Amino acid sequence: MKIAISGKGGVGKTLLAALLSKTFVESGYSVIAIDADPDGNLAATLGFPHPEKIIPISEMSALIEERTGAPPGKAGGYFKLNPRVDDLPENYSQEYSGIKLMVMGRLKRGGGGCYCPENALLQALVTHLLLGRDEVVILDMEAGIEHLGRATAKAVDKLIIVTEPGRRSVDTVYRVDKLAKDIGLQNIGVVGNKIRDPKDKEFLISSLAGFEFLGFIPYDQAILDADLASRSLVNASQRINNEVRNIYQALLAVSGTTA
């Protein structure tokens, strides 16, 4: 199962990515969680001991040069567009609580997409993770879907767009939905997060008519308390964890697998 998570900044993408990773692992699956947000904090959210020490793949200059034949930042020169990456999940991931984590780092941007060695390596890696692995892969992305393209879209079992009860994050759902459809990705589900009362849920259902809802996660102060205390968020709220288990069940139903 390959799951990608997008949505407006701050809506709870990383919390959902972390909790889904935990739920799949607890259910006996092998999981690779991918932090594909350049300002990501998936490692901290999962409770990794020294998240600040993890070096993103995009900053591993020696690796980038070894695999592509050119140092990072060298646009326009000769380098391999299809570098070898199949060993990277084993050799360049971190593991904690049974969850493998890879931190991608920042894609270089340029007019019409930047052809530079680090982007080639990251793109090859995402393609390999989505098309060439048996594990459950959970991709925590930004407010867009920059890491996905036509070739990888068909491998995504579900693009989950997270939204809060609010106009701006709902607008982002429509924007991401359009970007996804443009690359042929049709398997889209919405998760409503930070739900405080029934009105919040009704607002989302009426604002997003026609979307499939995978679940609604309650707002819980316990998450913020854990955040302020720099504790892992994955064990902070039983109410939230229960709801994420329902979302997990909904995802299994989609893929036709049984729990």
Q: Which residues bind ligand ATP (CB under 6 A)?
A: 7, 9-15, 37, 193-194, 217, 219-220, 223-224, 227, 233, 240
Locate all alpha helices (DSSP H) within the chain, ordered by sequence.
13-26, 42-45, 61-68, 88-91, 117-131, 150-153, 167-182, 198-207, 221-228, 238-255
Least CB distance to ligand ATP at residue 37 (A): 5
- Cβ distance to ligand ATP smaller for residue 14 or 187: 14
Please report how close the Cβ of residue 216 comes to ligand ATP at its closest, in angstroms.
10
CA distance 18 to 47: 9
Nearer to ligand ATP by Cβ, of 17 and 64: the residue is 17
The secondary structure of 173-206 as a DSSP string is HHHHHHHHHHTT---EEEEEEEE-SHHHHHHHHH
Tokens read off for 101: 């984590």
Q: Is 6 in the site for Mg ion (CB under 5 A)?
A: no
By beta-carbon proximity to ligand ATP, the closer residue of 115 and 203 is 203
Contact 21, 11 (CB under 8 A): no
Place of tokens 């997990």: 248
Residue nearer to ligand ATP on the CB measure, 19 or 122: 19
Q: Whole-number minimum distance, CB 148 to Mg ion, in Å?
A: 17
State which amino acid sits at residue 90: E
Q: Does residue number 23 form part of the binding site for Mg ion (CB under 5 A)?
A: no
Q: How far is the CB of 24 from Mg ion (least distance, A)?
A: 18
CA distance 94 to 54: 8
- The answer to whether residue 14 forms part of the interface with Mg ion (CB under 5 A) is yes
**Least distance to ligand ATP, CB of residue 29, Å:** 21
Nearest-5° angle of CA 17, CA 171, CA 186? 60
207 binds, among ligand ATP, Mg ion, none (CB under 5 to 8 A by kind): none
- Measured from the Cβ of residue 193, the count of other Cβ atoms closer than 10 Å reads 25
Q: Which amino acid is at 97?
A: S
Q: Based on CB atoms, which residue is closest to ligand ATP, 39 or 90?
A: 39
Give whichever of 8 and 13 is closer to Mg ion, judged by the CB atom.
Answer: 13
Footprint of Mg ion on 77-106 (CB under 5 A): none
Taking the complex as a whole, how short is the minimal distance between the CB of residue 40 and Mg ion, in angstroms?
6
In the complex, which residue's CB is closest to ligand ATP?
A: 14
What is the contact surface with Mg ion in residues (CB under 5 A)? 13-14
